[in-house]
A and B are shown apart, each in its own frame.
Chain A
Amino acid sequence: MEQLASVLTSYPPNSASSTTLKQQDELIRVYVSALAKLSASSKRLILEQPEAILKLLDPAKNSIGYLFVVNAILNVSEPRIGRSSLLDAIVVILLSFDPLQVRYVGNLLLLLLELVGAGKLFPPRVAVEVLATAMLRLDPNASMFTSTHLLLANYAYETDCVEPALKVLERDITTYPIAGQKEQRFLCDPELPLTSYISIQTGLTGPVKAATVLEYDFVRALIYMSRREWTKARKALERVIAYPTKDKGVSKIMVDAHKKWLLVGLLSDGEVPSFPGYTSAAAKSAYNVTASSYRDVASLFSTPNAIEFVGGVESNRPIWLEDGNMSLIQEVQVAYQKWQILNLRRIYREVSIYKIQESTSSGETGEPLANPQQVISVVQKMIDNKTLKGEITVGPDSESFLTFRDEQEWSSEKDFAKEIAQAHHNINLLSQEYKASNERLSGHRDYVRFMIREQKRIDKDDSDAGGFDAQIEDEDLMNDIVHHG
């Protein structure tokens, strides 16, 4: 027991503050290998007195040891520890681990996260909360995609426990794991870029492929749809449909996402959404073939011709059912009249309720509403949930009117300055990320090879000919480099 305790507590050393990164790295590596080489009797000892041993260790200071012990306990079928104590230990380590240390035992952490994400240990609320918090400890901006992201999204969606997951799901992901990344710096270097430590080698993420990324954004969109946050859902779907492709490839997820995207676009903006500029041509042509009936209905949405719209929806019913988009279509039908009313603000400053009743029709029946009271109740609901800025007033002949309010919210210079400063700050942060990516890609094998080839070509051209021809050639080369670099 004594010996086991001395091994387990051999890290961190008491005078850790003065060590260099190199020493730190050395110490951790020695410690990890010592743990791996623990004798069978020591391991048995851990399993016999798990609680006592966990007490020896501080999860925040010695995360490696703690993780190791917890994993060892979980590996046996009937641990000698109360279930609640074990669960407590898991929560404690996941909420307080040292992000630098776990880089050395990424696989242990990942195992634990996957176990939590499988949903057998905790009730969903706790599991999602723990998972999301642990992910943010590892990568405070959550800007790097990992296999855990999809795990979290799927679990949160399936258990309908989304709230605690949003702090991760709402972040913008900009980087992805890179295979075969060579890193010269020490793993415990706090300055290390994300891609250098969140990788399959360190075990902090499982394998990721295109479908994983697509599915993640797709599930995010489903989550937003269930919360009726249409704009966010549309943006998530936009990422799926405009996903980079090569060799004219189009994935089925993308095709499915496009159908939903058309409908969600109607709900969020009241009109057919337009493709982001970077959507691949192959994907676009595939979408045009696969979603023609969606497109037809979408284009009818912004016209006042309700009967045709309803006809379009009804005649394509089998398609909605087959694609599982029936409930989304129903949302669109309900939203039809609301958008018709909303669009009146572009024409009227004040409009009589009678006029609204006359000029708009329900997207479900294709008929105008039966009486002014119904119109007032629809309008009042829209005002109450803030989709419509305006108020209902009574005119001189006791006729009711809807008065539209200005949509401009900007009043003070101060607010404006604050917003602009924030935007400026965000863009500055991004430019740093750009620099980092640029640096990383400049060291990429393919790029270096390309540069060498270019260099050779320049050398050869220089020796070949002089005078005017060479000058022309020079210009071409410049173009080339600018273009590719």
Chain B
Amino acid sequence: MGAKLDLLAFFSRMKSQGAIIVEDLPKFDVESYISNYQGRTRYDRLMLIGESSVPLCVDALKAAVVEAKNGRDVGRYRGAWEYTRIAAPNEPEAIRDDAWIESTETANKAETARLEVELKGYRNNLIKESIRMGNEDIGTHFEEIGLLKEAAEAYGRMRHDVSSTKHILDCAQHLVSVALQRRDWVSVISNVSKISGLQAVEGEQDLQPYLKAVSGIGQLGMGKYHEAAASFLQINSNGSLESFQGLVTPNDIAIYGGLLALATMDRNDLQTKVLDSSTFRTFLEHEPHVRKAISLFINGRYSNCLSMLDALQTDCLLDLYMQKHVATIFTRIRRKCIVQYFIPFSCVTLQSLDEAFGRGGNSIEDELASMIRDGALSARIDSKSKLLVAVSTDPRAQMQAKALDVARKYEQEAKERLRRINVIASGLEVSRGKRQMDEHWYEGERTSALTG
């Protein structure tokens, strides 16, 4: 009972911090989920689940504490411990390991000092390669202990001393990694484009999946869904998937690419670019639900498609990169389904729409109203007869109205231009100097010689 209260307190605090709370049980368990990832993203993902998922909270936080202690980032340990202390004060992980903190901090400081002295030495010797490596070392060190800003600076300094394309590549990859952790999407994209701009990179084929995946994540982060979908769909499954191992899994790629495509592409594109794509098919095989949802959409079985997606929603809400966009993306897909459903009809009863799309017995009338207001749906609601009626346009009337509108606008614009020509020809423009005189306008001072 006490544990439940603790959780309640924890989530009300998370909610006030703006976190998205997910109460349903996802289809995975923490341990198997996190084993798919490597590197610093593991901690980020664990913490996200800890913050958001009610059923998995404690497991995830405990794992996060362990994860943090395996590294050297004291800030991370403090964060994970703080959350565990509130959410599960009775767990052994809730007791702060001050000895570890102290020893790690001391070691980190010593390491920083050592690397800085080393770098100074390299600088004095003016050996470019050594300076570059010194910067790389110090950058990696900062990244490991959680000083991301300093790490980005150190990696940035590497660029001064590059001597081969491989070096540029390393430098940009480090920067992308830091930018991803800092959620700095613009910098992710710009660094990725720096790599793609390089000519004749060795093993370009191997890098392609990494580049596309990372730029897709960046575009997703910036809310450019269509571009992001295109990036994910282009990932070449024949290339080495090792290159982004640890960052995202093929399953993630399938979900990101599939859902974003569903939200932004039309039926034709979905068929040719997603389902028929030989490269993306490999990814979709990992997530048969997504594949099924897309084909249901293409076949016009919208309600089945939506219920299929509903099952996916919980997992998506616990994904590091998807979470913030889930609501928007799912709304878009839903709206698209409604629009597509309505296209063949000139008039549909609200009842049948409720049957197809209604949620929990609520009428979708309000949803339709907001769709029409936003311009997503071109129709009118008839509340009396409970119908949704397509807007029938009379092309002749439209043409007439438009022609008259153009004529009137043209006339008005021509008149106005003529007026302006003559104002200027008469030297009557307002100029800076005349401003003073204008101030007396209200006092009615109106006489002055004509200028010009």
Taking beta carbons and an 8 Å cutoff, which residues of A are in contact with B? 150, 172-180, 200, 206-215, 239, 242-254, 276, 278, 346-352, 355, 359, 393, 395-396, 401, 403, 408, 410, 416, 419-420, 423-424, 426-427, 430, 433-434, 437, 440-441, 444
Contacts and interface: CB of A to CB of B under 8 A. Distances in A.
A264 B368 CA distance: 32
Contact of B428 (A174, A213, A433): A213
Contact of A174 (B385, B422, B439): B422
A252 B383 contact: no
A289 to B, nearest CB: 15
B418 A244 contact: no
Contacts of A210: 428-431, 434, 438
Nearest to B421: A437
A243 B423 contact: yes
B1 to A, nearest CB: 41
Interface string B411-424: 10011111111111
A211 B435 contact: no
B364 interface: no
A249 B426 contact: no
Given A207-B448, A252-B441, A437-B425, A350 B432 contact: no
B375 to A, nearest CB: 9
Contacts of A248: 432
Question: How many of chain B's residues touch chain A, expressed as a range?
Answer: 35 or more
Interface in B356-389: 369, 372-373, 380-385, 389
Contact of B431 (A215, A247, A410, A440): A247
Contacts of A208: 426, 428, 450
Contacts of A352: 383-384
A434 B441 contact: no
Interface in B434-452: 434-435, 437-439, 441, 446-452
A359 B370 CA distance: 12
B429 A245 contact: yes
B404 A423 contact: yes
Given A249-B429, A251-B441, 8 more contacts: A176-B425, A208-B426, A244-B424, A251-B435, A347-B381, A401-B383, A433-B418, A437-B422
A177 B433 contact: no
A410 B396 CA distance: 10
B383 A355 contact: yes
Contacts of A174: 415, 418-419, 422
A174 B403 CA distance: 25
B435 A249 contact: yes
A441 B407 contact: no
Contacts of A359: 369
Contact of A246 (B419, B429, B446): B429
13 contacts: A172-B415, A175-B422, A178-B425, A178-B426, A209-B434, A244-B428, A249-B433, A252-B441, A347-B380, A359-B369, A393-B384, A395-B384, A408-B401
B381 A430 contact: no
Could you say which of A178, A239, A349, A408 has the most chain B C-beta atoms within 10 Å of its C-beta? A349
B275 to A, nearest CB: 35
